[in-house]
Structures are given as structure tokens and as C-alpha cells.
């Protein structure tokens, strides 16, 4: 019903731009989100479904259990690894401008990280191999790092500090296999810092401003206030500080559903952030994994090919999809960790396309 109506409007040309969906449809999506949150025992979240001629944005649950503050459409959540797409986009702007090449070796950048000569590398590593997770570098985000983070949740780790947790592992030869490793994006974040002065300035300049992402930040302010969702673990403990202070390149962004929508269209449907050539490079799967390009998942379901990236950390989860054939964006942000493997965006896609 919803997708067929959108298609009809496209054919007859009755609308000049996106419109808010019908109240009955929005109530259905509201119920879908509320039921999913209840089933997964997650305190709250937002869900957005946006096509060329219809847009639905719903919120449910609590942003702060202690105060009873509800989640609203404008509530800001930590997006975890969904932010890797933004780091990739900033790197690709440097490629577009000739400041970097995908084939550049990373040695010179790594040399500026104190102590990083201890990071095991099995041969030369390029920027492209960092982006597509074929570098072979060992993972820093291990049990030891998790324990250290819980002991000091307010610490904002530097690349030098974080990478010390990877020094105990051995690398595998670069370019021989796909292995999703957060270390890659810590180094990419450092590269942006070298180029632009700080990761925050780089993302603000090359991504947030170009995509009109006015509610997006790197980390949270010292006193976040009601605009920021608190994150909760499975025991209901407030673990917000872990996400709020995650400012490394593997997951630095706090944002809203509307900002993620704006980012998806600016990145994939225009040249506001990167050139079409760089976008095409980004969504081209690597030879080592058919479902991952440069910082982006490339998947296909019954409704078509989509690009995106999920993210999850203690107390927060996010996901973003863009269906290029339909110009449809799906995204959600939640302040807990789901208990099952049930995909909220799969359910939202079925509701929108097949309803």
C-alpha cells in the first residue's frame, strides 16, 4: 500500500518533494517499533523510513530511565560503527582533492602515533586495505580493552593508547583475507587528524556541514542534557559514558535519525560529500568479501541492493540502509542491546515495500 502509493505519485507527478505519511501508516510503524523494543527489552529508540514521496519518523520508549525523559524524534544517540561510513567519506574527500590516494602506504601516518612501531604488520598496508578490512592488522577492541574501558568509562582514548591493546596480537599478510578490525578505523581517524588537525574538525568540515547534519557531534559534551539518549546494558545499568566518550575513528559519532537520513542521501545520491567516482569505489565490494566495499556493507534483499552499516556497543545500537534503485532510506537508533538476531530494518523494509 505505502510503496504502491509512492510509485503512483511518482508517475503522475503530484508531489514536488517528500511528504509526511498518513497517520494510519505512521501508527503502524509506531507499533512496529514499540513491539520490537519490548521484545528485545530495549528502553527506547527511533525508526525512520523515507522514500522520495513519503517519510515516516517515529520514537518510542525512554531516553533516560532515571528521569523518565522520553525518546523524541530529535533525540541523539551514539551510532557506534555506523560512523565508519562518515570516516570513510572524509577519507574519500581527501582522495578526491588529491591529498591522498587509496594506494598510499600507511607507514608515514602510523609513524606519528607514539609507540605504534610495536603494531605488528605482515607487509605493507595501504589506505584502501584499511577501508575494506584487508589490512591484516590485529584487533585492539578486545577483552582487555573492554575491561580497561569499564574501569574508566570517562576516558577518551587516543589512538596511541588504544593501539597498545593490539600489540599483543600477530598480523596476517595484508590483502590476503577480509577481517573486520576496528584497528583499521582508529588509524584512518588518525590520518584525518594529521590532515585536518582533528577528527572532529575533519568530519565537521567534510561530512556534517556538507550533508546539513546539524545535530551530529564527535562524542558528547560534559553535561549532555535531555537531548542525548542514555545507554543501558542488559542489566539496566547506565553505561552511557562508554559511547559518549568514544571518539576514535572506528565509531566516533553521536547523531539523530534525521541526520543519518541526510547523510545517506548526500553520500549516495549526490556529490555533496564525495564525487560519484569515489562513491562508486566505496560501494564496489572487494575481491575478498562480496558484501563489503570501502567502509560500507553492500547487500541485497527481496527489495533490491542496499548500502549501509550497522553499529553496536555497550548500551547503543544503530543501523542505516540506502536502497539506490528506490531512493529509500531506513535507519534506527536505540539505547540498549537487542537480545535476538531479529532485524528491525528487515521488518521496516517489509512494512514499507510490501505493506
CATH at residue 313? 3.40.710.10
Give me the pLDDT at residue 170, please.
86
Buried b (16+ CB within 10 A) or exposed e, 189-199: bbbbbebbeeb
**pLDDT bucket at 121, cuts 50 / 70 / 90:** confident
Q: By residue range, what is the domain housing residue 102?
A: 2-354
What is the secondary structure of 87-148 as a DSSP string?
HHHHHHHHHHTTS--TT-BSHHHHTTSTTGGGS--BS--BHHHHHTT-S-PPPSSSHHHHHH
Q: Which of 120, 218, 102 is nearest to 163 (CA)?
A: 120
In the predicted structure, residue 316 carries a pLDDT above the cut 70: yes
Per-residue pLDDT reduced to its tens digit, 266-311: 999 999 999 999 999 999 999 999 999 999 999 999 999 999 999 9
Percent of the chain with pLDDT over 70: 93
Per-residue pLDDT, averaged over 146-170, amounts to: 96
In the predicted structure, residue 8 carries a pLDDT above the cut 80: no
Helices (H), the chain: 2-12, 23-40, 84-96, 107-110, 127-131, 143-151, 159-163, 182-196, 199-203, 240-244, 257-268, 276-282, 344-354
Rounded Cα distance, 51 and 15, in Å: 12
Per-residue pLDDT reduced to its tens digit, 223-237: 898 999 999 999 999
Give me the pLDDT at residue 23, please.
65
Give me the pLDDT at residue 4, please.
45
pTM above 0.85, yes or no: yes
Q: Which of 140, 125, 128, 126 is nearest to 172 (CA)?
A: 125
* Number of domains within the chain: 1
3-state secondary structure of 312: strand
Q: Which of 123, 2, 129, 119 is nearest to 54 (CA)?
A: 2
Amino acid at each position: 500500500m505505502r510503496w504502491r502509493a509512492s510509485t503512483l505519485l511518482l508517475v503522475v507527478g503530484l508531489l514536488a518533494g517528500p511528504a509526511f505519511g498518513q497517520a494510519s501508516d505512521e501508527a503502524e510503524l509506531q507499533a512496529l517499533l514499540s513491539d520490537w523494543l519490548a521484545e528485545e527489552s530495549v528502553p527506547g529508540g527511533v525508526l525512520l523510513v523515507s522514500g522520495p514521496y513519503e517519510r515516516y519518523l517515529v520514537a518510542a520508549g525512554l531516553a533516560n530511565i532515571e528521569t523518565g525523559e522520553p525518546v523524541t524524534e530529535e533525540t541523539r544517540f551514539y551510532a557506534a560503527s555506523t560512523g565508519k561510513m562518515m570516516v570513510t567519506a572524509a577519507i574519500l574527500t581527501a582522495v578526491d582533492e588529491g591529498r591522498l590516494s587509496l594506494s598510499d602506504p600507511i607507514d608515514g601516518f602510523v609513524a606519528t602515533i607514539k609507540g605504534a612501531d610495536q603494531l605488528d604488520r605482515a607487509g605493507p598496508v595501504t589506505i584502501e586495505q584499511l577501508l575494506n578490512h584487508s589490512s591484516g592488522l590485529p584487533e585492539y577492541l578486545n577483552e582487555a580493552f573492554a575491561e580497561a574501558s569499564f574501569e574508566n568509562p570517562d576516558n577518551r582514548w587516543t589512538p596511541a593508547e588504544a593501539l597498545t591493546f593490539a600489540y599483543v596480537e600477530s598480523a596476517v599478510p595484508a590483502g590476503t583475507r577480509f577481517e573486520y578490525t576496528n584497528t583499521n578505523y582508529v588509524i584512518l581517524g588518525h590520518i584525518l587528524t594529521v590532515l585536518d588537525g582533528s577528527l572532529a574538525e575533519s568530519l565537521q568540515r567534510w561530512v556534517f556541514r556538507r550533508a546539513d547534519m546539524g545535530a551530529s557531534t564527535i562524542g558528547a559534551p560534559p553535561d549532555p542534557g535531555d537531548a542525548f539518549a542514555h545507554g543501558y546494558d542488559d542489566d539496566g545499568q547506565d553505561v552511557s559514558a562508554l559511547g559518549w566518550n568514544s571518539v576514535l575513528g572506528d565509531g566516533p559519532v553521536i547523531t539523530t535519525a534525521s541526520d543519518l537520513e541526510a547523510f545517506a542521501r548526500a553520500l549516495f545520491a549526490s556529490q555533496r560529500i564525495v564525487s560519484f567516482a569515489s562513491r562508486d569505489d566505496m560501494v564496489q565490494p572487494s575481491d575478498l568479501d562480496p558484501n563489503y566495499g570501502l567502509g560500507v556493507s553492500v547487500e541485497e534483499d527481496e527489495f533490491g541492493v542496499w548500502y549501509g552499516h550497522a553499529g553496536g556497543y555497550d548500551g547503543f545500537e544503530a543501523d542505516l540502509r540506502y536502497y539506490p534503485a528506490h531512493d529509500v532510506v531506513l535507519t534506527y537508533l536505540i539505547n540498549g542491546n537487542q537480545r535476538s538476531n531479529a532485524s528491525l530494518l528487515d521488518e521496516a523494509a517489509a512494512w514499507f515495500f510490501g505493506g
